[in-house]
């Protein structure tokens, strides 16, 4: 595993929530688990752009941070189900607020994001 070389800041609430939610797919994982998509394979189908590997790694971290728990059923083929802990559930409204802001400003956001990408970088692989 990769070893951190610098200690993170843990001063304020923003630092702290950053440590547990910062990760490309973590918020979506929590969201989908809350929506009832609890099995790894289901989550992978829901988030097809993430590699299987990262999803596992980020699920592990979420579990270590006590936002989710993993339940393993001793059956074959193996079955695993993730659930939010009570602690994890408390963060869902915050995620909902993020998503809602994004939805409310969807058009404008898409616009400024695409504009910024195409200005700085004219790679034809990206545009279209």
Partner DNA sequence: TCGGATAGGGATAAATTTTTCCCCTATTGC
Partner DNA sequence: GCAATAGGGGAAAAATTTATCCCTATCCGA
Q: Pick the piece of the chain touching its own copies (CB under 8 A) from 38-46, 51-59, 76-84, 109-117.
A: 109-117
User: H/E element holding 86?
Assistant: helix 86-104
Nearer Cβ to DNA (104/124): 124
Q: In whole angstroms, what is the distance from residue 91 CA to residue 74 CA?
A: 30
Residue 34 sits at the vertex; the CA angle it makes with 40 and 49, to the nearest 5 degrees, is 45
- Inter-residue contact 42 to 81 (CB < 8 Å): no
Least CB distance to DNA at residue 124 (A): 15
**Which option in its own copies, DNA, none does residue 80 bind, with CB closer than 5 to 8 A by kind?**
DNA
Count the residues of the shown chain that bind its own copies, applying the rule CB under 8 A: 56
Cα–chain-centroid distance for residue 127?
A: 26
Contact in structure between 59 and 40 (CB atoms under 8 Å): yes
| Minimum CB distance to DNA, residue 68 (Å) | 11
Q: Check whether the bond before 82 is cis (ω within 30° of 0).
A: no
Q: Which of residues 74-103 bind its own copies (CB under 8 A)?
A: 87, 90-91, 93-95, 97-103
Judged by beta carbon distances under 5 to 8 A according to partner kind, the member of its own copies, DNA, none in contact with residue 51 is DNA
Of positions 16, 39, 45, 79, contacts its own copies by CB under 8 A: 16
């Amino acid at each position: 595993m990769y070893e951190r070389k610098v200690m993170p800041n843990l001063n304020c609430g923003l630092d702290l929530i950053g440590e547990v939610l910062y990760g490309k797919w973590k918020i979506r994982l929590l969201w989908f688990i809350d929506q009832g998509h609890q099995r790894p394979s289901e989550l992978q189908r829901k988030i097809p752009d993430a590699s299987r590997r990262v999803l596992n790694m980020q699920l592990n971290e979420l579990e270590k941070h006590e936002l989710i728990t993993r339940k393993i059923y001793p059956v074959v083929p193996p079955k695993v189900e993730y659930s939010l802990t009570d602690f994890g559930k408390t963060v869902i409204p915050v995620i909902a607020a993020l998503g809602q802001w994004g939805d409310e400003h969807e058009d404008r956001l898409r616009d400024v994001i695409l504009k910024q990408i195409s200005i700085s970088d004219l790679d034809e692989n990206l545009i279209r």
